[in-house]
Structure 1
Amino acid sequence: MSKTQLPRQVEPHRLAANGESLQGQLALDALSRLVDEAGPQPGHCQVRLDFAIDPQGRRTIEGWLEAEVSLPCRRCLAPMASRVESHFQLGVVSSDAQAANLPGYLEPVLVENEQLNLLTVVEDELLLSLPQVVYHDETQCRVSRDQLTSGADSEASEKPAASPFEVLRTLKGKH
């Protein structure tokens, strides 16, 4: 993709009316919520946004993004690279009523004063696309499987599980 920096603010109604596309990148360290969630981020997010007006007259944005983010391994907490890709479709709205009337495949994006903050839109989509849990491969992780299990857990797993109906049988026998 392009190495051009995306503008932070755009006029989506004008871009949609002209059927324009934007393609470029945003620095990951400029995405403050991502940094708060996952720590400092080197690199860039590659983005492509196609602005259009659909047959029903709605202004839409079809977008793609990809980035390599550094996320903490949930076992050892060491950072690891994770590739994130997303394809999204947005409906440009100026009120909650318009948002409620969008079809299910369009996510609403609220535009105020004819301006749209692309940084916020891209950051939202990137955060939604992050994997919930990431782990190093067991052979590369600093924490082994044995370190993750405690003696009490392993002893409990060796005992057969009691039937959940055993308590009911006991109670039924008392009457």
Structure 2
Amino acid sequence: MLTTRLPTKVEPYRLASSGKCLEGVIPLADMPRVVEAIGVQESDVRISLTFDIDSQRRSFIEGSISFEASLLCQRCLRPTEPEPLSSDFRLGLVTSDALAAQLPGEYEPVVVENEQLDLLSVIEDEVLLVLPQVVYHEEADCAVSRDQLASGVEPEASDAPAVNPFSVLRTLKDKH
């Protein structure tokens, strides 16, 4: 089933029993946690999801996402050029946390409540997981130079031996 805009809620067990595929897009601007993390973005997340059942009768979703995002440089706090980001994932559908603990390592658990899955929330989780933790411009392109990042004068090396802060304890031990 090909759509240009994915539904926000689906019945994943029904889709898995039918072996359905969903493809489409969701604007990054429709994801409040992503907007909070990286600001408003103009691009869409391209999504491909295959719902299926494995040989052990576990329902799962195999999917991929890709999008472009302009992130803030951690040095100068200015936006970087849009960067392509993507992720492939395999989600195991479960109805409780206890069943999630029993899933094999190849699956990330997704708890399905009342036979409904909030697809927007699942996609938003995957987008947040693929975002880099630290982003910098190339040093030549950054508005902040390495010299501007120095926070003070480096201490000079001393030939005097370092004072051991626990030497007082040694004198207490020697008294007994």
Q: Shared fold by TM > 0.5?
A: yes
Amino acid at match of 1:76: C
Structure 2's unaligned 5+ residue stretches are none
Mapped to 1, the partners of 2:48 and 2:161 lie a distance apart of: 55
**Partner SS, residue 14 of structure 1:** helix
Runs of at least 4 residues off by over 3 Å: 160-164, 168-175
Matched to 2:35, the amino acid is V
Partner of 1:62: 62
Larger Rg: 2
Contact 2:3 2:22 in 1 (8 A): no
Quick one: which amino acid aligns to residue 56 of structure 1?
A: Q
**Within 2, Cα distance between the matches of 1:141 and 1:35?**
24
Match of 1:112 in 2: 113
Q: TM-score under structure 1 normalisation? A: 0.87
Counterpart pick for 1:159 among 157, 160, 176:
157
Structure 2 vs 1, CA of residues 24 and 163 (structure 1 numbering), >3 Å: closer, same or farther?
Answer: farther
Please list every run of 5 or more consecutive structure 1 residues that lacks an aligned counterpart in the other structure.
none
* Alpha-carbon distance change, 85 to 77 in structure 1, aligned in 2, over 3 angstroms: same
Alignment root-mean-square deviation, CA: 2.4
TM-score by length of 2: 0.86
Please tell me the residue identity of whatever aligns with 1:124: D
Q: Note closer, same or farther for the CA distance 1:112–1:163 as it changes in structure 2 (3 Å cut).
A: farther
After superposition, the C-alpha distances for 1:111-154 in whole angstroms (9 at most, x for unaligned) are 112111111000001101110000000111111111101332xx
The count of aligned residue pairs is 170
CA separation in 1, counterparts of 2:94 and 2:54? Answer: 13
Secondary structure at 2:164 match in 1: helix
